[in-house]
Structure formats: structure tokens, C-alpha cells
Amino acid sequence: MRKLYDAADRFCARHPRFGVPDLMRYIVIGNVVVFFLIMLTRGTNANALNFLYFDPQMVLRGEVWRIVTYIFVPSTTSVFWLVVELYFYYWIGSTLEREWGTARFNLYYWSGVLLTVIGALLASAITGGNFAVAGTSYVNLSMFLAFALLFPNTQVLLMFIIPVKMKWLAYIDVGLFAAGIIRAILVRNWGGVILPVMALLNFLIFAWPTLQGWAQRQQYQHSRQAVNFKKAVHQQQKQQGYHHKCAVCGRTDTDYPDLQFRYCSKCVGYHCFCQDHIFSHVHFTE
């Protein structure tokens, strides 16, 4: 993953003008135009806009525009939810572009689009069928993961009422990925397995250093906690008359030399408990 990230980083450094500035604006406009075309053709020919879908068989026959045009197919036929979805992803995409720069954001988005195409081709090859794709649901979800990783404490109004931090919505996002993959495995829908995995792969490539930094911080906090426990033990040993005393029953290792004592890592502060209370005590919170 690190090598792929470094390759992407070098590409962006060498080609700072790569990509389309304000890309999400054009993605949103394209979705709106196709939505109105769907509404106009709904009563006459329901399949009139199928030429926009990514269809492996038709691409092999020369209709190469499908590799790109499928991203303009909206994921809903409801005007309300279309407005909400497009506004949400325009906000996320434009924020990522300001944070990363145009080149990196474009590379992230288009690599997600390309990996979706590759995933559909793999699914078609594995199943022997023709796995068509319309819309960029998985690309959008991976884009949301990137936003939540960079801005975990940003709040949004869930259902326009409840304020929720992006990191909690990200957990739901990951749950949706996992549930979709498990459900697809159970019904042997290999396209439903490959496409979300491709989207997660795209996210992991670009988020690898940030994820590594988070893992190192967690490891540091854990080691720091262990060091503090050693200090607490040392302080307890300085107390006159005993080394360990249970915070619940008050028994000490001097009075009960055969009794075992442990320190609880879930309590606030450093509290010792005997073997009878280490698992049954109420945790200290202050």
C-alpha cells in the first residue's frame, strides 16, 4: 500500500495541473441532466438511456464512452433524495479538493471509477455473465470515508435534525460495506463482493499514511499506559506495611500473602483489586 501511495504522491507532484478543477460541480450537473432525461423518457422508453451504463459486452463492441458516462447515472428517481445526495457529495468532494489539491482529488476519484470498471470486468469474467454498472455509489461511499478520516469531528444534521459527527457515520459506512459484502457472498453475487472491495482498496491506498499514523498513536497510548501502571506499582510499594491493597474489600498482601492482586486498566486512575473483585468491581470514573 505504501508503494502505491508513494507512486500516487509522485504523480501529483510531477503533474500539479492534472485533473478538472471543481470536478464535483460537473459530476452534479451531469447527474441532474441525466435525471431529467430519465423523467422525460420514463413513459415512452424505459431503456432509452441504457447506452450510458457501463456494460462490458458493449464496451468490447466499441462503445468505450460507457467507461465514463455511467458516473452520471443518478442512484435515485426521487427529486428530494437526489438533491440531498448531490449536495452532500458535492460538499464532501469540494472540501477534499481544497484539502488535497485538484490533482490528488481527481486522481482519487478517477482511480475509484477505474477500479469500479475493473471490478465489473472481473465479476463478468468470474460469473461468465455480463455485470453492468450504473452510478457511482461505491465511489461516493469511499469518498465519504476519506472525508471522515480527515475531518472526524465535523458534524452534520442526520435527517436534518440530529447532529452527528462524521466519524460515527463512517462506522455506519463501514458497516454498510461489510453487510453488503457478506450478503453478496451468501447469494454468490460476486459483483457485489468485488465492487465494494475495489472501493475500499482505493480508500486504503490514499489513506495509508493517515491510518499508519493513527495506529502508531494508539500503540503509543497503550505503551504509555503500561509505563504509568509500572509507576503506580512502584508508588504502592513505597507505602508502609503492604505493597497491594484491594480498593473494594481493603485486604492487603501483608494480611493475605496467598491472595493475588491486579490493577484495572478500565478504571480512571490506578486502582488495585484482589482476585475476588478484579472482575466484579464497579469501575472508577473519576
Q: SS3 for 151?
A: coil
Residues 20-33: tens digit of each pLDDT: 899 999 999 999 99
Segment 95-124, tens digit of pLDDT? 999 988 899 999 999 999 999 899 888 888
Report the CATH number of the 1-222 domain: 1.20.1540
In DSSP terms, 262 is beta-bridged to: 273
- Whether this model's pTM surpasses 0.75: no
In the three-class reduction of DSSP (H, G, I as helix; E, B as strand; rest coil), residue 158 is classed as strand
C-alpha–C-alpha distance, residues 1 and 208, integer Å:
7
Which pLDDT score, from 0 to 100, does residue 28 have? Answer: 94
pLDDT of 145 above 70? yes
Q: How confident is the model at residue 214 (pLDDT cuts 50, 70, 90)?
A: low
The residue-averaged pLDDT of 261-272 equals 81
Q: Which range scores top for mean pLDDT: 82-91, 207-216, 266-275? A: 82-91
Domain coordinates in residue numbering, the chain: 1-222, 241-285
Contact 51, 66 (CB under 8 A): yes
17 pLDDT band, cuts 50/70/90, is confident
Average per-residue pLDDT in the chain? 81
Residue type, 178: A
- Percent helix, strand and coil across the chain, each rounded to 5? 60, 5, 30
Handedness of CA 136, 137, 139, 144 (dihedral sign): positive
Q: What is residue 132's predicted lDDT score, i.e. its pLDDT?
A: 83
CA distance 266 to 283: 7
Of 99-113, 132-146, 198-212, 227-241, least confident by mean pLDDT is 227-241
